[in-house]
Amino acid sequence: MTLRLVVVDDHPVVRDGLRGMLGTQPDFEVAGEAATGLEALTVVEAVRPDVVLTDLRLPEPSGGTLIRLLLERLPGVRVLVLTTHDTDSDVLPAVEAGAIGYLLKDAPREELFRAVRAAARGETVLSPTVATLLLSRVRPARPLTEAQLSSREREVLALVAQGRTNRETAAALFISEATVKTHLLHIYAKLEVPDRAAAVSAAHRRGLL
């Protein structure tokens, strides 16, 4: 079955790139495109696609407003957000408005292809950073005290906060880089974050640094 798609982005180069990329898949047909929210509403009503891939920040209407209007006019369409923005003010209104998926534009092409197919099936697709943000909103953060990090984990975290690389951290603590990576994975799990930058930010918020 061929999936009919509409691409919505106010940058012509981005639309061209997406059209070319999606066109490599035999089960995709880019049936229309739009540069503004108003144009998107017109194109979607005319084309009646299976999936709309849309940026959030467009000439009006945009964001959650555009998503709501798209779903009001064509309830069966799936709206997959594809954007560079992953802040609360972007993600939450889009999800609340009914977007079935939320990906960032730096996603690998194969991930994008899978997301389009999953969205067409009615499955929710979220980038890791967006999933983490939403989880933090629907469940309270577990209280975490300094005592819940081991002394070595605290030492590693402090050096990471100073901008040290894994190699530099290993040298400073006289341990291997592999051990540093293991400590970082434990820190990420305890702080419920995806990477070192988020770990440092979370540690500062919780008074661990």
User: Is the confidence at residue 145, as pLDDT, over 90?
Assistant: no
Residues in the chain: 209
Please report which helix (H) or strand (E) contains residue 4, including its range. strand 3-8
User: Is the confidence at residue 106, as pLDDT, over 60?
Assistant: yes
* Core vs surface per residue 111-142: b (16+ CB within 10 A) or e: ebbebbbbbbeeeebbbebbebbbeeeeeeee
Alpha-carbon distance of 24 to 137, in angstroms, equals: 37
Q: What is the pLDDT of residues 1-52, one digit of tens each?
A: 899 999 999 999 999 999 999 999 999 999 999 999 999 999 999 999 999 9
